[in-house]
Structure 1
Amino acid sequence: MRVLLSGVVGSTAYGLARAGSDVDRLGVFAVPTQELHGLQRPAESVVSTAPDRTWHEAAKWCRLALVCNPTAGELVWLPEELYEERTSLGSELIGLRQCFLSAGAVRSAYLGYAGQQFRKLQTRDTAVPETRARAAKHARHLVRLLEQAVGLHETGELRVRLAEPERVRELGERIAERPQAAEPLLAEAERRLDRPGVLPHAPDPRPVEDWLRRVRLANLTQQPCAS
């Protein structure tokens, strides 16, 4: 596979990493175009845990980004120093990042993911040290997702690196101890997301489609026909 764009994501990108934290990587790759025309479709994602990395095929990544998947979408909003591989097509993809955004998808995806974290918090026994640490991680994700959703809605920009990571960490600890403390945050985020924002009603898939076609052309290897 040909990697078009990849970078360090997760806690390192958010500014929440500490000694011993995992280093997560995310990337977009393209398969040779001719492989898309056989009986067996190539894998759309490649995931490993040693090291921790997730690579999505170009078309799949675009589909995820067009519904504002928070995990996939952050790849095109990283601080410059966190990119590890960046081809010309990868730079073009970064330039298209606004095309993927829409108000309804941001609200649905980010609140949906935050809600998942909240439900996990409600079912964890924080008396167990390992479970408490996991709960604090869920709580940090919840706070981050809500702040990023509101930021996207109100400014049209995704801030991957948190402005106040220590405040988010401390707030996560309090919410892990008492999950109900997250309820006002969820309510406030919903209230702000219900107000008019700067995002369009729908994404603009046309430039994305054009980009994907250029990816296919760039990875097309013509084979001579058998006589």
Structure 2
Amino acid sequence: MDVQNVLLSGVVGSTAYGLAGPESDVDMLGVFATETAALHGLDPIEESAVSSKPDATFHEAAKYCRLALGGNPTVSELMWLPCDLYDIRTPLGDELVDLRYAFLSAKRVRDAYLGYATQQFKKLEARGDGSFSADTRKRTAKHSRHLYRLCHQGHQLYSTGRLEIRLDDPQHFLDFGEEVAAGNLELARQLMARYEQAFDESPSVLPDEPDRAVVQDWLLRVRAAYYEVPA
């Protein structure tokens, strides 16, 4: 996949969390800038570029900002990666990392992380009695451990203002996934209830609203950097 004007990109997903196994794919995520003049043309711009080999998703700068302001966990984690997981960091990409706090707000973080985890749980619950065939057990274990991860990371971000991408004890999350996949849906149900209560009872250090003005200033710097006066 040939994406021009990449500002920031890195390895995300299971590899970043420490949950990857021998068969796991390496997921890449990035932000790119469209040439500013193209934004004023007749044709709509491509806001995202996605490939499956390798697994990579790149969002145009404005779309990335909108998703991150909404608290999207997958998108937001790009700004919180350990330094060794970045493969491209331009000066504007470094600025984006530096202003990651401007994207945060209590309600959106809570709704996004807990909402994504709830979606995962509903997929598990919809399977009925909790018994899984061999061909679905692996995927069920994956959904379960990511359900746990979303709850854990989301509450951490909500209560401390920090997002640790690499999990301190990945095996704990892996074991949880295997136990749920073995049929113990009650374990996932209890986890969801515990984190819902934790979100309700824990005070958040995050502001009520993100700092859109700071994000807007960065985006305008991107537009200025990629503007060329037409000949």
Structure 2 length-normalised TM? 0.94
* Aligned residue type for 1:146: C
Q: What is the CA distance between 1:126 and its match in structure 2?
A: 4.9
* Aligned residue type for 1:185: L
Provide the aligned length of Structure 1 versus Structure 2.
224
Residue 161 (structure 2) aligned to one of 129, 148, 156: 156
| Equivalent position of 1:51 in the other structure | 54
Q: How does 1:144-223 map to 2 (within 5 A)?
A: 144-176=149-181, 177-194=183-200, 195-223=202-230
1:22 pairs with 2:29: no
Q: Which runs of 4+ in 1 moved over 4 A?
A: none
Q: Which runs of 5 or more structure 1 residues have no equivalent in the other structure?
A: none
Distance across 2 between alignment mates of 1:7 and 1:113 = 22
Q: Which runs of 5 or more structure 2 residues have no equivalent in the other structure?
A: none
Q: How does 1:49-88 map to 2 (within 5 A)?
A: 49-88=52-91
1:200 aligns to what SS in structure 2?
Answer: coil
| Equivalent position of 1:123 in the other structure | 126
CA shift in 2, pair 1:110/1:118, >3 Å: same
Q: Say what the alpha-carbon RMSD is for the aligned residues.
A: 1.1
2:206 aligns to what SS in structure 1?
Answer: coil
Q: What is the CA distance between 1:130 and its match in structure 2?
A: 2.2
Distance across 2 between alignment mates of 1:46 and 1:109 = 23
Residue 107 (structure 1) aligned to one of 107, 110, 121: 110
* Aligned residue type for 2:199: L
Distance across 1 between alignment mates of 2:138 and 2:188 = 17
Distance across 1 between alignment mates of 2:192 and 2:168 = 19
| Equivalent position of 1:133 in the other structure | 138
* Aligned residue type for 1:116: Q
